[in-house]
Structure 1
Amino acid sequence: MFSYMDRPIFIINAKNYNEGSGDRLARFIEYAVSASQDFKVNVLVAPPIVDLYYYARQHPEVLISQAVDTVGYGSSTGHIPLMRLIDMGLEYSLINHSENRVDHMLIKDINLAAEEHGFKLIVCIQSINELEELISLGVKPYAYAFEPPELIGTGRSVSKYAGESLRKAVDLCSGEGVRCLCGAGITDVEDVELSMEYGVDGILVASGVVKADNPLKKIVQFSHIMSDYYSK
């Protein structure tokens, strides 16, 4: 297993897209493994939850859960236990995505539990106000991911259409010693280049890769750009 420390992060969120479900997800896992080895980038795939265990048996090092809960093993239904993800070999999880919002106090509790086990939480935020509120609660996860919901899935990227807010998010995260990622509408090389110029530590992409005509080409292009910027 190779080390991903101090690398930019490239998250491919397969959501519940048909193109990234079941056996169709296998190629994205293979691409992530290859790109992580060929470039100085930590490429992670967020499979549909129902597919997570199957692929974790093969390549947990390139997987990130789409969500996580504070519940442990025991009497709970429909939740994703943190310890189960850890036992599967995962090191990362998203939380509070715009399509799966979580109460801020619960985020704080989950982050504290994650920190105790060296598990890396990436907290999605919709706005600067939300980021400031979480910071005021003392939530310092492994990373925050700035994703304005109005841009998700539109092809209108955060770096082009919410640049000033992105810059502020980067500055706030930097002041707290927390990584800042960005997502929403990222579809092409220019989107990635602009994002890196704002100083982000990584990107989240969903349909821009999963639904692309040539996903491998996109993954290689984006990884190459991120690796080059991080090496400057």
Structure 2
Amino acid sequence: MLLEVKNLRVHYGKVEAVKGVSLSLRQGQIITLIGANGAGKSSILKAISGLVRPSGGEVLYEGRRIDGQPPNRVVEMGIVNVPEGRRLFKLMTVRENLRLGAYLDRDSRRVADGIEEVFDRFPILREKQHQPSGKLSGGQQQMVAIGRALMARPKVLLMDEPSLGLSPKMIDEIAALIVELRKAGLSIVLVEQNANLALHLADHGYVLETGSIALEGPSDRLLSDPEVARAYLGA
């Protein structure tokens, strides 16, 4: 197994946000976490990427425990987070934001090649590379956020609400990109409010309610589950 979360617990003060969650990700797989706001989805991603320290449980990557490692070490291992809300440096240019994604890489040639690969994937960013990222549309900013993550050459991509605030057309483009990234060999953990989109993209889904897994299974099975349809798919 590439990534395993075992009995994970996360507290913020006295509040337990994640209550003993277990999940797993295989090489080349997309898994999705769906659920209402406050269900603990983003906290799980933050615990995996070292942004919050778990209060219990384990996170294993390629068989080794990584919970408690600092975020830069987790990135170095190959796990990179695309955060909710993009979190770009809005006064910095597109190109400068992309370079920050490779801050651990001392090979300037490889960094330059990485930027070119991002521009090949997102041609509009080549046109806008010298513009402040804060001047871009929401969809273009999401491209920069994903491109910045790809600059670290990850094996596992953690994506937190990539469709948030985007137009339907741009959501379709981001969905197509996620499929492309998987075909290119990336393994993806997808947190997404749009449960219908998430389950169509993923191989396996986990439904979270107030910090615990209420339901899990192959995505096609969850899509046809009447409880999931009623609660999350608007049926």
When normalised by structure 1's length, the TM-score is 0.42
When normalised by structure 2's length, the TM-score is 0.42
Q: State which structure, 1 or 2, has the greater radius of gyration over its C-alpha atoms.
A: 2
- Judging by fraction of residues, say which structure has more strand: 2
Higher relative contact order (CA 8 A, sep 6+): 2
